[in-house]
Amino acid sequence: MELTEYFQSYEHYFWEWATDEDVPDSSGYHDNNLVIIPNEGAVAYRPYVIEVLKELQPQGWPPFGALVMMLYATQDGYTNFADPITATTDFYNTGNFDFHADRAIRFLDNLKSLGKTYTYGQNRMVLLQTLCKNIHNSVSSGNAELILNVYHKRPQKLSEAAYKINASPSALNKDMAALALLFEKFPTTQSIIDAMKGIMAEPELADEVAEEATTVETEQDFIQELIEEPKTFQVGSLIKRIWSGLKIPMRHLSPGDQPIGGISDMTNKGELHRMLLSEFANEDEIFMSRIANNEVLYIQREIPPEENVFERIILIDTSLKNWGTPKVLAFASALAVIKHPKAHSQCRVFTLGQTSTQISLDTVADVVENMNQVSSILEVSAALEKFLEEEHTEKDLEIFFITHQENISNGKLQKLIFQNRDRLKFLVTTSSDGELNFFKHDKGTRKHLQKIILPLHELWANPPQRRRKKDDSGSGNSKKTEVPMNYPLLFPTPSNKIAGFLYEGEFFMLSTKKQLLKTYFSDNYYNRDYYDYYKTYHGCEVLIDDISVKPRGQFALARNKQQQYILCQYQPDKHLLSKLNLNTKEYSELNLTGKQIPLNMKLIYFDRNFYLHQALVPSVFKMNLEGTLSIETVKNEPEIEKNHIKAEAETEKLTHSGIRILNNFNTVGINANGNLVVSNHELNQMDDSIRFYKNSSAIKIPAEQNKNKFSFPDGSEIITDSRGMLSFRSSNKSIPEFYMPSSEHGYLSLATYTEFGGSEYYLPETTLLKVKKMDEMYTQYLRAFIDQIMEYGA
């Protein structure tokens, strides 16, 4: 997010920038120095707003409009926030949105009721810090710091934000959703006071990850997945050990434009309060003469170092000597740099063999696939030279080259590294005995940064296969509890997907779990109060499971005459076209080498055929839907492009349809509040809805885990499904089996095979379920399930 975007003002909005000509600004930019509520009054001068933002920067910023209203509600005198907010939401409401203005206004009323004790002086800042911690739609701390740096250097850039534009519903929703969710978090004045005093453990309400935030937990979860997967266990078990000794800088700090300290900080231009005290020792005539002739000495303003945003490229040698253990060390080193908790830079990875190939290491499947890349050549100087000859115009670029330690003694490779030492910033060498060496090229010389010796026998002594055998011998049941392909309610739509499709008016997705999913959109709400404008999306059902496909290249979907699903895949880098019948698993492929197909061709579906298509060429390539795969050149018809544009616009809607799924199940139990806890998330009921919040209470009754089954002492069970579903089986047979989605944030649902309650997001498009209020469903099923467990314990 940039400065202009954060401070942007809008037409017909509840706040705007104004100029008070009688009050100069210390920044030197005097326009737009005041924030006001139109037709109501002033909120705060810009210097005060900037000081507030400086105080909030370490924890991140709320949306600016939300902050303006919080400042307005906590100031002395008459305030009227209901009329401006209502007028704004009414103006931008097109009939499909609910901005929750009523809850936002009720929250601001609570703020107004606090009184001077909590809204005056330093207590006001404590109040704002309490409210803005983990606020919805927040700007990350790092991004906030960058915006402040830009403001201090170019405050006049604020004029761009002061120019009013029409607000999109999403812009207004950012402000309103933040305030509305604060009302859920702090429903009373007393709850705000308790939070300020540190009495209340604040639940984490954010529906989204703060912009550009990188969490250690996310990377730790990925490393744990690598360790638990037998095929990547060796790589995963090395990463944390490499982290413990890694001395590669994860951030670069560039000095400011002006020096800091010393005589070089003196200048003959500056403000009076920065004048050297020694100047006042001159006689009056000399003193005035020095001022008139710009000879007076001033102290320059110190500019702190700035973060230098750069991109990293990691090159992994896949030649003969870097096979086996050295290759494991190479991939572990690359992942240690990419997934380091403090790493914020972008990173691209290439393998070097006969050619250079860009790869992804974002998932366990990616790591498994790309570690299988091998090259039969002895050394990669040709591929490295070709890569370095390519034009890389990135402003700040760091290239890592990872190879076997014996390879750098090769004459060709040694010469190439020396000639390009200004571009190859880091050189990493591997060995068969677990030794890693890190070198850095600095000012034309190679410096040895560190040596890391990894105890491979110790780290690889207990692979997951052995642990599983041990577990099997101690347990009578080693198999996972089977789960159905679908449930009475829909799955939460995953955020990560391989591809999205529109076929005959229906939406489909190919998920990263290799499933074909079907979803739909609707604005026919069951209870509109549960939804923001973007919740017109719905969950999904599984059509085909366990699809054998590599997540790379382009995809298209269709149905043949037998109504079987046909998935076509095009991999431009391999010149490979393939077709898979998802129902019968029938597969055929075609090597397109020599067909002279342009690189920018797109795989699409149109009128019972697949095409490799481009808009501005006279001829395109057509592939048959039925039978064995074949390809032919045909005339490019305008109707193909029209259909493609329409389909692409529709499938673009799938981009933001995913939600965060709670699928890494570990701890399950009942906490001291009598609520269900799943993987450190407590299930709470509020306002005829249920949702997960971060748990802050001790678990009173834990469930015993056996694979994906969690059993309580009374015999009740919860079956987990990593696709985002929980099944509840009570020991009380009068409580039928019921189901609940496990999305990490957002309103949830409960369903049996006959009844449904909660968010319509999970309600199937065609259903015979009887829809009931969530209060009734919660009491009849989930509360009864929990009470049965607690009564047994008592």
3-state helix, strand, coil in the chain (%, to 5): 35, 25, 40
Q: DSSP assignment, residue 60?
A: -
pLDDT, position 460: 81
pLDDT, position 594: 77
Does 755 have pLDDT greater than 90?
yes
What tokens does 312 get?
Answer: 């990293």
Pairing of strands 311-317, 346-352: parallel
E strand spans, 636-696:
668-671, 676-678, 681-685, 690-694
The Cβ of residue 509 has, within 10 Å, a number of other Cβ atoms equal to 24
Classified as helix, coil or strand, 175 is helix
Residue 460 burial (C-beta neighbours within 10 Å; 0-12, 13-18, 19+): middle
Residue 422 burial (C-beta neighbours within 10 Å; 0-12, 13-18, 19+): exposed
Beta partners for 282? none
Beta partners for 139? 61, 211
- Separation CA 179–CA 195 (nearest Å): 16
Do 238 and 227 form a contact (C-beta atoms < 8 A)? no
Do 332 and 338 form a contact (C-beta atoms < 8 A)? no
Pairing of strands 537-544, 506-511: unpaired
Span 174-201, average pLDDT:
78
Distances in whole angstroms, Cα of residue 4 to Cα of each of 9, 30, 65, 84: 9, 17, 14, 23
**DSSP secondary structure of 591-646:** E-TTS---TT-EEEEETTEEEEE-TT-SEEEEEESSSS--EEEEE--HHHHHHHHH
% of the chain exceeding 90 in pLDDT: 16
The lowest-confidence range among 44-48, 192-196, 370-374, 680-684 is 370-374
Does 786 have pLDDT greater than 60?
yes
Does 489 have pLDDT greater than 90?
yes
Q: Which has the higher per-residue pLDDT, 460 or 683?
A: 683
Does 231 have pLDDT greater than 90?
no
pLDDT, position 95: 56
734-744 residue pLDDT tens = 899 999 999 88
- Is the CA virtual torsion 103, 107, 108, 112 positive or negative? positive
Residues in the chain: 794
Name the class of domain 218-252+307-459: alpha beta
Span 183-193, average pLDDT:
84
Torsion angle of the four alpha carbons 166, 170, 176, 179, in this order, in degrees rounded to the nearest 10: -130
Distances in whole angstroms, Cα of residue 30 to Cα of each of 4, 47, 102, 155, 189: 17, 11, 36, 9, 38
% of the chain exceeding 70 in pLDDT: 87
Minimal CA–CA distance to 761: which of 542, 526, 543? 526
Span 473-493, average pLDDT:
77
- Separation CA 328–CA 74 (nearest Å): 58
Q: Which residues of 391-409 are buried (b: 16+ CB within 10 A; e: fewer)?
A: eeeeeeebbbbbbbbebbe
667-689 residue pLDDT tens = 899 999 999 999 889 999 887 88
> Which span out of 62-66, 323-327, 374-378 was modeled with the highest average pLDDT?
62-66
- Separation CA 347–CA 151 (nearest Å): 28
Do 351 and 254 form a contact (C-beta atoms < 8 A)? no
- pTM score of the predicted model: 0.44
Does 466 have pLDDT greater than 50?
no
Does 262 have pLDDT greater than 60?
no
Do 327 and 371 form a contact (C-beta atoms < 8 A)? yes
- Alpha carbon 740 to its chain's center: 25
pLDDT, position 674: 93
- Separation CA 14–CA 214 (nearest Å): 33
The Cβ of residue 374 has, within 10 Å, a number of other Cβ atoms equal to 14
pLDDT, position 473: 41
Q: Which has the higher per-residue pLDDT, 490 or 627?
A: 490
pLDDT, position 776: 92
Amino acid sitting at position 547: I
pLDDT, position 396: 67
pLDDT averaged over the chain? 81
- Hunting for tokens 């370095």 — which residue is that? 388
Rama region for 427: left / alpha / beta (φ>0; ψ in -120 to 50; rest):
beta
pLDDT, position 96: 52
Diameter over CA atoms, the chain? 102
Q: Which has the higher per-residue pLDDT, 374 or 209?
A: 374
Do 434 and 451 form a contact (C-beta atoms < 8 A)? no
Does 210 have pLDDT greater than 70?
no
Pairing of strands 298-299, 306-308: unpaired
Where is 540: in which H helix or E strand? strand 537-544
pLDDT, position 611: 92
- Separation CA 466–CA 443 (nearest Å): 49
Residue 69 makes CB contacts below 8 A (sequence gap 6+) with 14, 15, 81, 85, 104, 108, 175, 179
The Cβ of residue 163 has, within 10 Å, a number of other Cβ atoms equal to 11
Do 581 and 627 form a contact (C-beta atoms < 8 A)? no
Secondary structure (H, E, C), 706-768: ECCEEECCCCCEEEEECCCEEEEECCCCCCCCEEEECECCCCCEEECCCEEEECHHHCCCCCC
Minimal CA–CA distance to 169: which of 534, 537, 652? 534
> Which span out of 228-232, 276-280, 365-369, 769-773 was modeled with the highest average pLDDT?
769-773
Residue 579 makes CB contacts below 8 A (sequence gap 6+) with 566, 567, 568, 569, 587, 588, 589, 610, 623, 629
What tokens does 403 get?
Answer: 């190879």
- Quickly state the pLDDT bin for 529 (edges 50, 70, 90): very low
* Domain regions of the chain by residue span: 3-196, 218-252+307-459, 258-302, 497-514+549-656, 668-793
Does 214 have pLDDT greater than 60?
no
pLDDT, position 280: 87
- Separation CA 332–CA 535 (nearest Å): 40
What tokens does 52 get?
Answer: 């507030």
Does 505 have pLDDT greater than 90?
no
pLDDT, position 524: 43
Residue 41 makes CB contacts below 8 A (sequence gap 6+) with 78
> Which span out of 325-329, 386-390, 510-514, 718-722 was modeled with the highest average pLDDT?
718-722
